[in-house]
Structures are given as C-alpha cells and as structure tokens.
Structure 1
Amino acid sequence: MESASFLLLFCVCAQTLLQVWGTESVTALYGETIVVPCNGGAPPLNDLMFIKWKYEKADGNPGDLLVKQDQKDQATVQATDGYAQRVSIDDKFNLLISQATLNDQRTFTCMVVSATNLMEYPVSVTVNKKPSSVEIMDKAEVLQKDKPTVVGTCVAADANPAATVTWKKNGKALVADGKAVVITPSLKMDPATGLSTTSSTLQYVATKEDAGAVFACESTHELANEEVDAGPFSVHYPSEKVSLQILTKGPIVEDDNVTLKCHADGNPPPKAFFFFIKGHKVRVENSDTYTLTAIRRDAAGEYKCSLADNEKMEDSQTINVSYLDLSLNPTGKVVKTVGDTLSVKIEKSASGEAIVSWRKVMDAEVVNKLTYADAGVYECGVTMGGLIRRQSFELVVEGGPVITSLTKKRALDATHKVLTCEAQGVPEPSFQWSINGTNEESSYINGKATHKITVIPTVNLTVTCIVSNKLGEDAMTINVSSVFNEEKERKDPLEDSDDQAKLIVGVVAGLLIAAAVVGLIYWLYMKNSRQGSWKTNEKEVGTSEESKKLEENNHTV
C-alpha cells in the first residue's frame, strides 16, 4: 500500500510542477494547542488527492507528521518522534499541535497534492509565554541614610521572549547613575524548557526625604505587564538634635503633675535618655518622658535632658511654677448682734499680681454697727491669670424683735377682719395676740417675720401683738371696732339720703302742679278777652300795669 502511494505520488510529481508559497507566521501560547493553517485556511481544491504535513528538523532535514487524503478519511500519523502523540488535523486541514513548547518554534509545511498541481504552504511558528511570576526577592527592611542599601531583586521568571524589568520610586522610573541608584540586570535561560528568567537588583542611597517611599518593579512583556510594590520603607539615621518639651498645657500651677519629653530627631528614636532634675541625673530606659508629680513652688528652675550615649547632645527648659495662697479671717459661721463691730482680715501670697473680689461686697474690712441687712454669705476670691482661690464666711446678725407694722383690714364679705403684725428679729421671733384668731398665716424671710390672724370682733376692742425671741420682746396695740357697729354706721347714712330724695321729688311735683294751674287760668283769661273784642269790633285796650302783670305771670309759668 505504501509503495503504491509512493508510486502515485512520484507519477503526479513527474507530471506537475511544484509550487511553494511564501512563509506565513503563527504565534502560539506556551502549553496550549498550536493551530497551523494550511493555505491560510482556504478551502481545498476540487481535484484534491491528499494533504501532507511535514516539518523541518533541527538538523535541517524534513520530517513527516501526518497524511490525510480527504475530509472523510482518517489522517495517518507518520511521525515517529515526540510529535507522534501531539499532532492531529481538523476538517479544514489545519495542523493541531498540543502542549506547545519552545521546541515547536520551527517551520511547518502543508503539502497539497491534486491531479494537476503540487503546492506547499510553509508556516513559521513562534511560541510566546508571559512570566509565570513577578516578585521582589530579598527585600530590605529599612533603608540607611547616606549608605548604599539593596532594596531588593525583581525576578520575572520563565518567559518567552524574556521580560524587561524597570524600577520605580513613588511612581517615577529610576535611572541608574552608578552612585545613588545602581541597577544590576541579569538574564538566565532554562536549558530544559528554553524559557528565560529576567532579574534586576536595585541598590539605593536614601535620604531623610525617602522615609515612606514606595519602590516598585515593573515587568514588561508582549503578553502582559505587571507591577509589584516594595515598601513603604523607613529610613534609619542617627540623631542630630535633641529638644526638651514640656507636655503640660497652660501655666504650671503648684501641685500640678508636669511631664517632660526628651525628643531626638534620629530614626529609630533612642531608647535611653538622661533627665537632669534640680541637680540629680535620672536615666530613663525605653521611654522619652519623665513626670514631676505634685510640683512645688521651690521646684521652679532649669531642667535638662540628653542622649544616654552622648550627653553633649542636650537641651534645656525653664519651668515657672505659679502659686496663689489666700487666708481669710473669720471663716465658717460668724454670729453677731445688731450694733456689733465686724473685723475681716485678708492675707494673700502669689507668684504674680493677684486681684481680690467679693461676692456680697464689703465696704471696708471693719464694719461698725452691724444691721440685719449686713447678714449673709461673704465670699472672697483672689485670681491670678487662670488661678483662683476662694474662702467664705457666713455672717448671722442677731437681735431682739422690733415690731415694724400692725395693721387691720376688713374682709370683702364684711363679716371679719384680718390683723397683720410685722417684725424684725433674729433668731425668728414667735407671735402672741391678746385675742384669739383663726386662719393663722406666718412667714419669715431674711429676718423679717409676718403673722396674720382672722377675728370677728362683736364689740370694740384694743388688740395687742407681742413678738419675742431669746434676745427680747416687743409689743404694739391697735383698736378694732365691732363689725356690728360698723354695719349700723354703714346703713344710717343710706336711710337719710332716701328721705332727702323723697322730699326733693315732692317739692318738684308741687311746683309742676302750680305752674300747670297758672297756665290754665291764663289761657282762659286770654280766650275771654279775645271773644269780647270780636263782638264790639274794638281793640282790647289795657293799662300798662295790667300788661306787666300778664308778662310776669307768663314768665312765672
């Protein structure tokens, strides 16, 4: 069978002219299936006899892969090397090579044989692979100021073609200068796989400004770009300056706790310091603070701190302690009698100018002839900046009671009277009346006492109010008339006024009746006089005296 196929192929080749087309290119992915097209994927010829795939071996000789006569027949694998289990052909006569490796980077040829032609279509295959990993190895923990430090080595492993590695700091590409920035690249190829690993080591000289810097390496490849960060980094450098700080806010007041902080600008900070406290040197480990508890006024002065391993590197601060003392005499509860003298003594001591103020003002430190109005709570305040001291005393002014007012008032219903007795006295006085009463009401405010009673006097009385306390007593009297006599006195004036009203009405009525009678007589008289004149055709002639009388009568009416 093989000899017949070869004889047929020889006859065809003898009668046809071999045509070789230009080489195409195909890029495949490492580990995946390579698809090699025959004649760019064009449909086969109508008079197709068979298609054969072959390849170029490493020594330059051709090697057979497989033959397929038509679409219906199964392909015959002719390869006897590693391709025997990896090659196949699809219904479009494309060559399929599974599990691509770099050894597949060669030329594969599709030979198309028809009754009249023999054509070959070579295809060059390239296998690409992106880096299997990109990482920074041997990363530094910290950077040293002014000292070359290896930041790390960036590795882009197992790629084809080899990846390109670049370094960045805070997003900007680093350019090697051979001094502050030294970049050392390297490239290795795995002889078994042919894959390349790219490495790049960065050595960097840091400054203080590089604290917190983020370094990154970027792998650039045809199939993928990847960036890996390293950092942020801390920059270590020795201390160049020491400063002493007082952490207590605001003015320092006696009895305050004062915390001192020794700050060094090195990184990492020093672990031990010396604090110089009023001539004593105190070593502090694993801390940079020292606290003065309940500081006293004699603790004011200069304080220093330094590095434990270099006492020449030091700093100092002056502490001022504010204090304010107040002594008030008397204090507490002070009891005096009306008319007594009160003497008040104030003593103050302060680290600055202090201002004295009073709540319930005193006109002078000596008050003569005390009155009830002088009683109360006196508070003395002394201020200096934000510092305040206060002391107080309560003055109680005592005295025997004195009645200031005794009044009476008729109730609205006129059936009883309310008597009110007011007095001043300390302690609170008690009240007694010379008459029994009801609805008693009492009050006592600021040494003023008031007592009210309700009485219904049936006869005129003289009532006495008596007030007393442990220091004396006082009395006052008032006349109280009977509610019944007052009722009678209220009614009599009303009766007299009624009689007078009746008399006036009678007089007015009499005058009106008299005027009506006179008017009627006058009217009759005039009527008769007129009738006489009409009868005689003569004018009525009267004397002048009669005329006057008539006018007077008319006016009277």
Structure 2
Amino acid sequence: MHLLSAGCLGAVLFSALLSQVSSLGTIYGLFGETLEIPCKIEGAKAEDIIMTKWKYDKGDGLSGNLLVKQKDQVSVTAGDDYKSRVSLASNFSLLLSEAKLSDQKTFTCMVVAGADIFEHSVNVVIYNSTENIMLQVIAPEPLVEGGNVTLKCEADGNPAPTSFHFHLKGKETVTVENDNTFTITNVSRDTTGEYKCSLIDNPTMEASKDITVNYLDINLSPSGSVEKNAGEALAVNLKVDASGEYTVSWTKDNIKLDKEPNFTKLTYTDAGLYEYEVTMGALIEKTHSSWLFKVLHINGTSPNESSFINGKVTHKITVVPTANLTVSCTVSNDYGTDTKNITVSSHQSEDGDQTKLVVGVVVGVLVAVLVIGLAYWVYMRKSKQGSWKTGEKESGSSEEEKKLEEKVEENSQKAEV
C-alpha cells in the first residue's frame, strides 16, 4: 500500500481534473419554457458517482451554487431567484423552469466518481418567437419640406430581429435585411401619412407611426412698396396655407395693431411700414410691406423727386391752388420721424386785378402822349400857316415854342416810366 503526501495527492487530483474538463458547449432555450442543461461526463459510471454539483458564473470571477446531490438526496443550495426554479434530472441534467433572458449565463456541473472529478460547462442562450415591436421616427423638429426622416424598427426578441418590412403609407413595402432602419430623403407635404414596420417571419406583428411634414405658405396682396392716392380704398388680402394651426399678428411702424389693416378711404396718417408675423408651432414667418401714399394730383400737381445724394433727397411738387392750403411733409428713418407744415396762400384773383390795373395805366399814358403830340402838331401847323399867311413875325413866338417842347418831353418821360 502506497501512501501519498497531501501535496502529491493535490497534484494528482489537479492533474486528473484537468484531464476530465470537457469543452464549453452551447444550448438554446425558449423564453418562459423549462430548459434542460445536460451534464456530459464521459468515462464515468452512474454507480460510481458519489456527488453531483451544479453552479453558475455570476461574473467578476464569482460563482453561485444551485444544488448538490449526494447518494440519493438532492439539496437546493441556491439562495436567489433560482431556488424555486432548479431541479435535477435522473441523468444528472439541470432542469431550469420559466427560462428568462437573465438566464443567459454559463452553467457548470461537477461530478465526483470514484477517484475522478469531472466538470462540464454549458453556455445558455434564451430565445424570445418577439412580443413587442416599436417603430421610431428620427427627424429634425420641426420636420419641414426638404428634410430627411429615418424609420427605425425595434423588437424585444432575443436574439433581436435584424430584418423588417417597412410599409410606406400603405402604397409601397420595402424589405430591409440585416438592418432595422429606412431613410426617406427630401420629404414634402405629400410624405405626410401613416408608416408601419413588421417582422419578416411574422407580418402580423407590426408597429405604426404618423409622420407630419410641416409647411407654411403665405401670400400677401398687395406687397412691396405700394403707392396710392389719398381718399382711395386699399384692400389687404393675406392668404395662409399651413399644415397646422397658426396665428397672425400685425404691426405698423413697430406698433402692434388690433386687427389686419384694411382701408376704405386712405388718409395721410395711414402711410407707414406694415409688418405681419405668422406663427405655427416652432415655425415663424416674418415679412413686411411699405405702403406709401403719395399725393400724385392736386390741381395739376406734378411730383419730382431727386436721387439720394450726399444723404439728401429733394421732393418737389408744383401746386396751383384755388384756395389757401397747408402741405405736410413727413420723413422718417431708423433714427426718428420729422414733419414740416408748409402754408400755401392763394392770391390768384388779386394778382389778376393788379395786372389789369398796370396795363390800364400804361395804355392811358400812351394815349395822353399821343393826344399831346397831336395837339402840338396842329398848333405848330397853325402857327406856321398864320405866319406864312400874314408874313409877320409875332413877338414872343420862340419862347412859347421852347416851353411847349419842354412840356411834351416831360409827358414823354412819364409815359416811359
């Protein structure tokens, strides 16, 4: 009889253990079903088995005990969820009831038969024939025309499905294999609708989502710079075509208005910068129109506006008024507003009478000159005829002629003035 020291016995047992460890195998079970995990011990006879033990890998190098069988007695040593779910089959396999996804671990059976120790490890994978499927829409917020949207289909099966059907608004079905996404590019308002995804091996299991492509179309009439006459009507028409509920607000020269502007009879105070803002969710559309009411015709008025030169614009109008009036000129820019009133007086009738008076005076003077000249000519003729007739030289005749000539010259000067 040979006796071995404890060190030698340990070395022998370790050597025997290494020679009896089988390679790692894998078995597959169904979720919720009872799983049988085999214990393969080649070379060991059932009558020679002294003890059978099952354990599992808890991770981080730790192991958890499940049960032990010595002779004909089985003791469950598990202290966790496995306590009520484990048992031992007659062939030493581990029976695991109500299989869960968390049971995907490595289970090991250890068998002591005579002087030999056997170990066999099994990797367990739990399949989960999918209970829930979900369709996810990946898109910018808000989704507007021209953008892209990705459909992502996910299922809770194990292993997770990797191939799906994508149903596009019930009009088209696209099959994607080894991927769970499908991307729609350059979307438009026509993309709006219901989308679905389903399992290829079970089309009745499906999920759906609604996709809405937002749009906001606005048309304002009139728009831009509008020129109208004072007293005319101006109808403002704002048309909005949107994919959802929206609100509209108006301002005039940055002052909020209570309602949309509409004019039955324009006044000069209606002129200004009108702006509207249309809001629909996260979409905001802003724009403005400059409505300028120019006086184009007042009793023959002809406007003339110079170019913008050296920070100055000159606007001239020619007015032929029939009565007194006040012309108001208002200018404004980002730095403020200024108004100047110009009073135009009407003196047309008075000017007309004055002209007639001046013309009458001039005509009267001319007539007086002619009369004096004619009288002088007659006088001189009579004087000469008398002289010629009598042949006598009247005393003082040259002095009288000199005075008469001076008188004529004086009247002539008055007529020229």
More helix by share: 2
Greater RCO between the two (CA within 8 Å, min separation 6)?
Answer: 2
Task: Decide which structure has the larger Cα Rg and report it.
Answer: 1
More strand by share: 1
